Each structure stands twice: as C-alpha cells, then as structure tokens.
C-alpha cells in the first residue's frame, strides 16, 4: 500500500516550507490533512503569523522536481501509509512540545537498501562528539554486540560516539542507519563522507530534510528527536552536561522507551551527563550489549546472564556443611569437639559433615585434628 501521490507531494512541500517538527505545521496537518493545508497555504489562506513566516520559501517550492531529482540520486521519499513507513515514529505525535518541536515526521527521505519497516527493534547509540578512547571503545563494543544479533544500530554519523557506533555495528556484519540533520545527498561532517556513502550503499541514510538542505543547529535537535522515535531504546555513551545526546535522551524518556547510559570515570567531564541520567534514575546503567538487549527486547526473549566467577567446590555445599567448614581452622589443627563448639552444631552432625568435607577434598585430618585444604581456601 502507498499513500496518494497528491498527499506525497503536499508533504514534500510542507517539509520544505517549515522546519522539522514545527509545532504549528504539525497541528494543522493533524487538523486539516496535508493536501488541504498545502492548498490553503498556496492560496494565502492560513494563520497570518504562519503565512508571513513561510512566505519567503513559497516561491521556491517544486515538490514534483524534488521527487524526480531524488529518484535520479537513488533517494526515496516515504510517508505514513507506505508499506515501508516505520510506524514507531508515529508515537512522536503524542509527545509534549520540546523546544518548539513535536509530532511525527511529515515524511522521510531515505537512501540505501535497508527498509525502515524492518528496524522496529533498533537501538539508538548516541554521545559526545569529543569522545575519549574509552567512550569510543564502549560505543563500538556495545554496538557490535547488539548488531551481531541482527538488531539495527541507529546513530547520527557525527564525530566521536556516533562514528564509533556505526563502525562497531559494521564490524559485526550488522545493520546500521545514519540519521542526518541535512539532506541525505550531503555528507556531514565532510570527513565522514566515506562512512555515509558506505551506509547509503549497504544500510540506510535518513533525514526529514529534502536533498540539498544544509545542516543547522536547530536541525540537529530535530534529528535527535527522530533517532529516539525510530528506535526501541537509546544508549547514551559519554555526554557532557550540555550534550545534544541528552536531548535525544529527553525524547526517549517522553516516548516511554528504555533509556540507558554507560558510566565513565567520575573525573571525566565527558561522562557527567551520563552519570546524571543514572543518578536521577532516568537511565539504566549498562556496560555491554547483552544488558542493552535484555532491556529493549520483548520480555523473556533475551535474558542477560549475570557475570559470575569460577565455581568453587565449597559453592556446592549445603548450608550446614558450609557452617562446619567455616569453623575448621586454616593452620592449627582442631578436634571435632572444638569445631562443634565454634560452629554451634551438635558433635554428631559435625562428625558427619567432616566426613563429607574430607571426601570432597576440603578438609584433611592429621594427628592434631582437622584443617582446611588448599581447595577450601580458594576465594
């Protein structure tokens, strides 16, 4: 199923007239529908303040030409109603306004073979552009572990954590999507042109902005909202107290989706934002991909196994035998009666327990009494 052609063109035009997540446009689209709103604006019918703001862009509108130019570049435009539309982003429509932005995207420009309706269980990995070696290693490792299970990793193709997340997913042979704050035909930052081109050939590059659009600060904030909307959960790896990653985290929280954060050195300014999320309870502390998967996957689908040290012989003891073992001296031998007094257990039960402990190689009996073996002293 696909949306009507007129509606698609109307959404392209509205996306060119207003910035992503524009509150006024979003409310009017919900109230009137994109085609009716577009027709009204083209005929000077609409709120005066909105018309005056949009007037400077009206003359440049060419949705038919935009769509054709995109097609020649291998770029597609998907809208609600298309089979490929990622329905999880519709939840943005129920979010409160954040920094004058709200609502689901009008449409998405996509370049790459990966279909967006196949990434509903994806994980967002975001963080500082000025990542430390530690942060980059953590982002890459977590992304690789997540991607190895077939789960898509979504990030913003920026320096630092974003780059590490994409490369980590690719290193595991996994899928990854870059969400840009400019047109998908532009490589931003330019230094990541090869990475973005690779994703456009093997994964997907996504934006609300039409091809040719340049990045602006406000567009990065809108991009953050889209990363949270596309993904089932968001992981913050290194974020200063004023990091854009915290904006993404804010959207994830408003969407009531899992928010996770990786702790860093307590002296690192780059981790202060992540620590704040953990300290306030906004985010779950995670240190590896398996912990992320347990939180974002359906209940019971992926259970994280708590790390344990090597099993010791004494770990298999019954509580009474363990109590007797604790009463056996390490160096100076003791008789059964002395051990019984120390353990507070009847002598007959102590004698029985000592026999079992001896057969298990945990105690030894000499001329002076009982002592622990090397195996019993393992920690």
pLDDT tens, N- to C-terminus, the chain (379 residues): 566 889 999 999 999 988 998 888 888 888 889 988 888 888 877 666 677 777 777 778 899 999 999 999 999 999 999 999 999 999 999 888 877 777 899 999 999 999 999 999 999 999 999 999 999 999 999 999 999 999 999 999 999 999 999 999 999 999 999 999 999 999 999 999 999 999 999 999 999 999 999 999 999 999 999 999 999 999 999 999 888 899 999 999 999 999 999 999 999 999 999 999 999 999 999 999 999 999 998 865 666 566 666 677 777 888 899 999 999 998 899 999 999 999 999 999 999 999 999 998 999 999 889 999 988 887 6
Last residue within a domain, chosen from 296, 324, 351? 296
Last residue within a domain, chosen from 244, 271, 296? 296
Q: Please report, in angstroms and rounded to a whole number, the separation of the first and last CA atoms in the chain.
A: 63
CB of 46 within 8 A of CB of 17?
Answer: no
Same domain, 225 and 138: yes
CB of 114 within 8 A of CB of 204?
Answer: yes
Asked if the structure places residue 18 within a domain, the reply is: no
Asked if the structure places residue 281 within a domain, the reply is: yes
Asked if the structure places residue 284 within a domain, the reply is: yes
Same domain, 89 and 213: yes
Find the DSSP H helices in 203-305.
217-230, 244-254, 272-279, 289-296
Give the predicted TM-score (pTM) of the model: 0.81
**Axis crossing angle, helix 319-327 with helix 336-343, rounded to the nearest 10:** 110
Same domain, 145 and 181: yes
Asked if the structure places residue 7 within a domain, the reply is: no
Same domain, 320 and 266: no
**Which domain does 319 fall in, by range?**
313-377
Instruction: Report CA-CA distances (Å) from 142 to 68, 276, 336.
Output: 39, 20, 53
Same domain, 260 and 368: no
Q: What are 153's two structure tokens?
A: 């990793």
Q: What is the largest CA-CA distance in the chain?
A: 107
CB of 180 within 8 A of CB of 186?
Answer: yes
Last residue within a domain, chosen from 296, 323, 341? 296
Report the C-alpha gap between 252 and 123 in whole angstroms.
Answer: 11
CB of 285 within 8 A of CB of 138?
Answer: no
CB of 17 within 8 A of CB of 58?
Answer: yes
Q: What are 195's two structure tokens?
A: 């990475």
CATH assignment at residue 332: 1.10.10.10
- Preceding amide of 194 cis, omega within 30: no
SS3 call for 136: helix
Asked if the structure places residue 32 within a domain, the reply is: no
Same domain, 83 and 192: yes
Number of compact structural domains in the chain = 2
Same domain, 317 and 274: no
| Selection from 371, 379, 366, 365 nearest residue 314 by Cα | 379
Report the C-alpha gap between 323 and 230 in whole angstroms.
Answer: 55
Q: What are 224's two structure tokens?
A: 């953050």
């Amino acid at each position: 199923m696909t949306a009507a052609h007129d509606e698609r063109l109307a959404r392209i035009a509205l996306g060119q007239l207003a910035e992503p997540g524009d509150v006024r446009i979003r409310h009017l689209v919900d109230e009137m529908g994109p085609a009716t709103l577009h027709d009204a604006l083209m005929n000077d019918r609409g709120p005066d303040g909105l018309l005056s703001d949009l007037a400077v862009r009206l003359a440049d509108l060419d949705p038919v030409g935009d769509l054709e130019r995109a097609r020649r570049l291998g770029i597609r435009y998907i809208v609600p109603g298309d089979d490929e539309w990622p329905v999880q982003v519709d939840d943005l429509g129920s979010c409160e306004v954040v920094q004058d932005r709200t609502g689901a995207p009008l449409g998405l420009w996509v370049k790459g073979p990966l279909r967006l309706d196949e990434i509903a269980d994806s994980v967002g990995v975001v963080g500082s552009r000025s990542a430390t070696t530690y942060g980059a290693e953590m982002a890459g490792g977590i992304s690789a572990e997540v991607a190895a299970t077939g789960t898509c990793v979504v990030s913003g193709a920026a320096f630092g954590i974003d780059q590490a997340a994409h490369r980590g997913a690719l290193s595991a042979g996994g899928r990854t999507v870059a969400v840009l704050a400019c047109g998908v035909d532009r490589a931003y930052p330019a230094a990541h042109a090869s990475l973005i081109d690779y994703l456009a050939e093997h994964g997907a590059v996504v934006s609300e902005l039409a091809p040719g659009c340049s990045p602006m600060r406000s567009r990065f904030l809108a991009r953050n909202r889209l990363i949270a909307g596309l993904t089932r959960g968001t992981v913050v790896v290194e974020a200063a107290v004023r990091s854009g990653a915290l904006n993404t985290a804010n959207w994830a929280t408003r969407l009531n989706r899992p928010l996770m954060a990786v702790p860093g050195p307590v002296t690192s300014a780059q981790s202060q934002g992540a620590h704040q999320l953990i300290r306030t309870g906004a985010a779950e502390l995670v240190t590896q991909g398996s912990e992320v998967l347990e939180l974002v996957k359906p209940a019971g689908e992926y259970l994280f196994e708590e790390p344990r040290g090597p099993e010791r012989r004494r770990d298999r003891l019954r509580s009474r035998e363990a109590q007797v073992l604790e009463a056996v001296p390490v160096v100076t031998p003791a008789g059964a009666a002395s051990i019984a007094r120390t353990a507070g257990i009847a002598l007959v039960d102590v004698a029985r327990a000592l026999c079992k402990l001896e057969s298990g190689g945990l105690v030894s009996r000499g001329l002076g009494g009982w002592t622990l073996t090397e195996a019993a002293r393992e920690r």
